[in-house]
Structure 1
Amino acid sequence: LPASCFLLPASFSFLYVTGIVSHPLAGCVLLVGGAALALLVAWGDQVRWMPPLVLGLAPFALYLRTLLPSVGVADTFEFQVVVPRLAVAHPTGYPLYVLLGKLFTLLPLGNVAWRVNLASAVFAAATVLVLYALLLRLTARWLPAFLAALAFAFSSTFWSQAIVAEVYTLHNLLVTAILWLLLDTLPRSHTRTHPPACRWQATFFLIGLSLTNHLTTALLLPAVALALLWDRPRLRLKDWLIAGGLLLLGLSVYLFIPLRWPALNHGAWMTPREFFAYITGGQFHGALRLDGWRDPVRWTIVGRLLREPFGWIGLGLAAVGVVQLALRQRRALALTGATFLAFVLYGLDYYVPDISVFLLPAHLILAIWIGAGIAFLADLPSRLSSLVIGHWSLVIDSLFIGSLFIVHCLSRIWLNLPQVDQSHNQGGYTWGQYVLSLPLAAGSAVLADVEKFAPLYYLQQIEGIRPDLDLLLLSSEELYLVELTARLRMGQTVYLARYLPYLEGLHLRSLGPLVEVRNPVLAEN
């Protein structure tokens, strides 16, 4: 199978030249990707560092190419403001992401928002590399590991999180690292050997650290329990105390929240009850319904989200991988299967609009199974070469399936790139710069909706533009009207960056995209 991959670039070119694939981006991806794969196959076995180097650089280059260049919306906007100021994000606080993201804001590149976005791209590229190492450990074949990691790198949901300021690429990096350590505790042969104590100690430390980034790390605990049950590590009391201490050391990152709380809340300290409610996301508990798995609509939604990253071809290869692991590596299947089921059940029971990002670890497990499936198909001809059905028939079948998945992997690039590309999304940032350059009255107030508020607040708080303005974002139209009335009574000029009704009798004047509102009596003076 590897030697046959030399023919892949020619076959990819044939698809484009004959018009079967006519999209220019698709043709470019097929030609360049096919040639790169041929070079990898030619040199991958001799130069072991080449596959991980390509796997690290190629996705990272595309993440950079599609990176959001400035301020975003919703949680992305929040992190772009919170991280540079070392503030506290919404529950559960995400202190690890805030602290690591702060390091990226110190880079002398781009604007601050871009630097925070860059952190997600770096975490994503690192995730792909750790996934490759995990698959190499599981399959002992670099090409299946490479293809499965590549498929995950360019899956739409993961790619979309790699180009904005969000916590999910760091979350998946830590989840992948923990799974890699857990799989590394499994025996490589029939000879029973226990991993060194430092491996379990590293696992406990990463679990604690990962919990401070995203609480769904707790869904890995069934897999951890299974690994402990099977391995029964012969650790001394000292080793267990070190492991427990490292777990607490990882969890100690949570202390960032109460330590920063007074500086952000007028000197008020956070109570233990408030702290516990904050780090456990108490305000979101209502979205978790333990009977959600009974709802057939949820199965339809989650099923679609599990199919989208790799398509039916990928799911078919994942099924082959499950069979392969069931036959030869049952404990690896149990660890990955327990993790997959935990995150799928969580996806079924957690009723939030952006559930797809919570299923990313399940996508990760599918990629692991896909790698096992490709490795099985690659070995199939040599295993069955003595059978009457014909060795060359199996070689051709395996090559066809392998080539089909390679084309499928490359197709993710040209299919997903237009959907996820944020590189030209400068609208909000440019709009905000223009608005704050207008001759707004000193000490005036700006009432904005959520989309208009984000760039204005970012430019004021992070880039220091017009700190004299009061920027207000409220939860309802009624509150906006109350705030408008109160500020006009105080004689303050108010600008609207959103629609408001019932403004009859007020003095209104357009100023760029804003509406200036003044008390008629003051306007006459």
Structure 2
Amino acid sequence: MRTASIAAVTAASGISNPVANSRGGWRAWLAPALLGIGLLTTYTLTLHPGVTEGDSAELQYMCPQFGVCHPPGYRIEVVCGKLFSLLPIGPDIAWRINWMMAVAGTVGCLALFGAVRRITGQALPALLAALTLAFSSVYWHFCRLAEAYVFYNAFLLLGTYATVRFVLGNRPAWLYAGALAVGVAVAERISELPVVPALLGLWFCRWRHARVSVGRVALAGLLFALPFVATVGLHLLRYDPSQLYLRDSLLSDRLLGRAVEQPADAANRLRAAATYSLGLKWTHMAGFRPRATWRELRQYARLLSGAGAFDNRTLLSFAEDKDNQFPGTCISLAGLLLAAWGVGVWRREPAWVVLGLGMFLGNLAFYLWHHPWDNLTFTIPGLTGLALLVGLGAAGQRRPAGLCRTRVAWQLGVLAVPAFLALTNYRVVMADAGHERERVRHYREHVVSAPFPPLSVIVTSYWQAMTFRYLLHLEAGRPDITVIDASIRRWAEIADHFARRGRPTFLPADRLKIPAMKEAMTRETPPELAAAGFVQVHPGRLAPVGLPP
């Protein structure tokens, strides 16, 4: 009777022993199938409803045009985004690019599930690891809208899964698949590169079980380098200043003195493309700084601890507050204790501890070296390593001979960790949902249909410029409209520059902070354009400083 009851719990939970796993029975596929369907449904239901702002809007703008994003360019993501933009689902292209992140986030969690189940021979710990990552606030947020973090992390996790399969089975096909997937992950994301030593450490700990020859290493190295070669080639092919997707950005750069001319000779063009693809433009933010280190460790510790579950921070406040504390919780204190338990229990099989701990520490080193205002968004590879250790802690030991009632109860009990994350982070993720829906509705009903005169110019910040380019160039079919991005202190001179040349010139009204000026300029603006949120600039109206002709 006892054996039958345990078997019933095991079957209902989707747990299968190593023998069943190796046979590939239907029960082995039940848990990942339910996990994938559940996560994709959750991410789709909580998806951002349309066009966003900033880098996310840039990706939504570039993907359907097969364009070039800011350094490092994200060519592989743009190629996939182009394919997703053609799908016959969703209200518009922006929604489909957002949905690509939901798919990528689901794929990443399934790969983590597969890796932990292969390591432990158990499905419940694998489910715990996947759900702990899936419902961590940083990961969940970037499964909702167009960005690079979850997309490239999916390839990192696919590479991790393939590497686990290789070191367990010594099949070279998994080595090659892992090299290619990790190559995609790091080709345009230098933030993922510090995680690669963890994968090498995994192989080193198990080299007797997964031997490699010179030929295998050479082929794996070529596959690892192939994605970067492809990104550089795509940059050379698609970086065309005459194309719409680059026109307004390059014009903005020329007006503001930010322009860097493309080298004429092939060697320097290749060097410039490689530099662009490596994202070396951002190295000025890098360096280990003691003062910044303490601040960023405090921020990261708060994110991991669960304290964010009990305050009123939202994702809008993340960008606006001086503290730049990402809201919500990742992993949680209970999850960290499970991860520490996993390190202790699995110390006799150090390969898996090296993998999880190496991913976390490698990413932590990058986090402490890199200092943009949104640095916490770069922690997803480290969170992945912690989630893997959480799964090891829940498993307790590798491939147990049998499952007792106590072990099953323990593993079901620790599912409280992702349940806590899901319940508390849902509030954080959806806190701005009403604002998002209202803004998208305004864009669709007013901005897309706004009767801008031919050859109009809109001067705004980078944050809004990508949104307006997407709405007007793609949705409204108005490539004649130029959208200039500049800091607000340069708006007066740029707007007057175009107004004096007879171009109908507009500013976003919500960024004008002087009520009297805003009211006067609104009266001088056609009502339909004022309703869309713009004010027209007339020559001499804003006391310009002057720009080059």
- Band of TM-score, shorter chain: 0.7 to 0.9
Partner of 2:427: 418
Distance 1:196 1:520 in 2: 72
Partner of 1:105: 85
Distance 2:6 2:51 in 1: 43
Distance 2:107 2:395 in 1: 23
AA at the equivalent of 1:260: R
Alignment gaps of 5+ in structure 2: 18-25, 248-260, 306-328, 542-549
By how many angstroms is 1:335 displaced?
2.7
Counterparts in 2 of 1:445 and 1:333: CA distance versus 1, 3 Å: same
AA at the equivalent of 2:283: H
Partner of 2:544: none
By how many angstroms is 1:247 displaced?
2.7
- My pick for the range that moved more, 166-175 or 432-441, is 432-441
Taking the TM superposition and a 5 Å limit, the aligned residue runs for 1:109-258 are 109-110=89-90, 111-186=92-167, 195-230=170-205, 231=207, 234-254=211-231, 255-258=233-236
Partner of 1:19: none
Distance 2:338 2:15 in 1: 26
Partner of 2:372: 352
Q: Is the 8 A contact 2:119 2:398 kept in 1?
A: no
Distance 1:431 1:50 in 2: 43
Tell me, yes or no, if structure 1 residue 80 matches structure 2 residue 60. Answer: yes
Partner of 2:524: 509
Helix, strand or coil for the counterpart of 1:472? strand
Q: 2:488 aligns with which of 452, 455, 476?
A: 476
Tell me, yes or no, if structure 1 residue 314 matches structure 2 residue 314. Answer: no
Tell me, yes or no, if structure 1 residue 485 matches structure 2 residue 496. Answer: yes
By how many angstroms is 1:218 displaced?
1.7
Distance 1:300 1:375 in 2: 30
- My pick for the range that moved more, 203-212 or 281-290, is 203-212
Counterparts in 2 of 1:91 and 1:6: CA distance versus 1, 3 Å: same
AA at the equivalent of 2:29: W
Counterparts in 2 of 1:4 and 1:366: CA distance versus 1, 3 Å: farther
By how many angstroms is 1:224 displaced?
3.8
Q: Is the 8 A contact 2:188 2:279 kept in 1?
A: no
By how many angstroms is 1:199 displaced?
2.8
AA at the equivalent of 2:345: Q
AA at the equivalent of 1:201: Y
Distance 1:2 1:130 in 2: 31
Partner of 2:385: 365
Distance 1:309 1:315 in 2: 10
Counterparts in 2 of 1:381 and 1:319: CA distance versus 1, 3 Å: farther
Distance 1:431 1:482 in 2: 29
Q: Is the 8 A contact 2:11 2:27 kept in 1?
A: no
Tell me, yes or no, if structure 1 residue 429 matches structure 2 residue 440. Answer: yes
Distance 2:99 2:365 in 1: 31
Distance 2:360 2:13 in 1: 31
Partner of 2:13: 41
Q: Is the 8 A contact 1:167 1:213 kept in 2?
A: no
By how many angstroms is 1:214 displaced?
1.6
By how many angstroms is 1:419 displaced?
1.5
- My pick for the range that moved more, 297-306 or 314-323, is 297-306
Q: Is the 8 A contact 1:506 1:520 kept in 2?
A: no
Q: Is the 8 A contact 2:345 2:393 kept in 1?
A: yes
Helix, strand or coil for the counterpart of 2:475? coil
Q: Is the 8 A contact 2:84 2:96 kept in 1?
A: yes
By how many angstroms is 1:114 displaced?
0.6
Partner of 1:89: 69
Partner of 1:408: 417
Partner of 2:47: 67
Q: Is the 8 A contact 2:84 2:100 kept in 1?
A: yes
Alignment gaps of 5+ in structure 1: 8-36, 188-193, 386-391
Tell me, yes or no, if structure 1 residue 499 matches structure 2 residue 509. Answer: no
- My pick for the range that moved more, 289-298 or 335-344, is 289-298
Query: Which digits, 9 at most, give the CA deviation of each residue in 1:427-470, with x for residues without a partner?
Result: 33332340343443333323334554443221112224433333
Counterparts in 2 of 1:56 and 1:515: CA distance versus 1, 3 Å: same
Counterparts in 2 of 1:484 and 1:476: CA distance versus 1, 3 Å: same
Q: Is the 8 A contact 2:102 2:143 kept in 1?
A: yes
What number of residue pairs does the alignment pair up?
473
Partner of 1:456: 468
Helix, strand or coil for the counterpart of 2:536? strand
By how many angstroms is 1:60 displaced?
0.6
Query: Which digits, 9 at most, give the CA deviation of each residue in 1:282-331, with x for residues without a partner?
Result: 2211211134598333321222233331211111111111111103x112
Partner of 1:388: none
Helix, strand or coil for the counterpart of 1:515? strand
Counterparts in 2 of 1:507 and 1:89: CA distance versus 1, 3 Å: closer
Helix, strand or coil for the counterpart of 1:81? helix
Helix, strand or coil for the counterpart of 2:147? coil
Distance 1:195 1:77 in 2: 43
AA at the equivalent of 1:271: R
Query: Which digits, 9 at most, give the CA deviation of each residue in 1:92-119, with x for residues without a partner?
Result: 1111111111110110112000111111
By how many angstroms is 1:63 displaced?
0.2
By how many angstroms is 1:198 displaced?
2.6
Distance 2:352 2:147 in 1: 30
Which structure has the larger Rg over C-alpha atoms?
1
Q: 1:288 aligns with which of 281, 286, 306?
A: 286
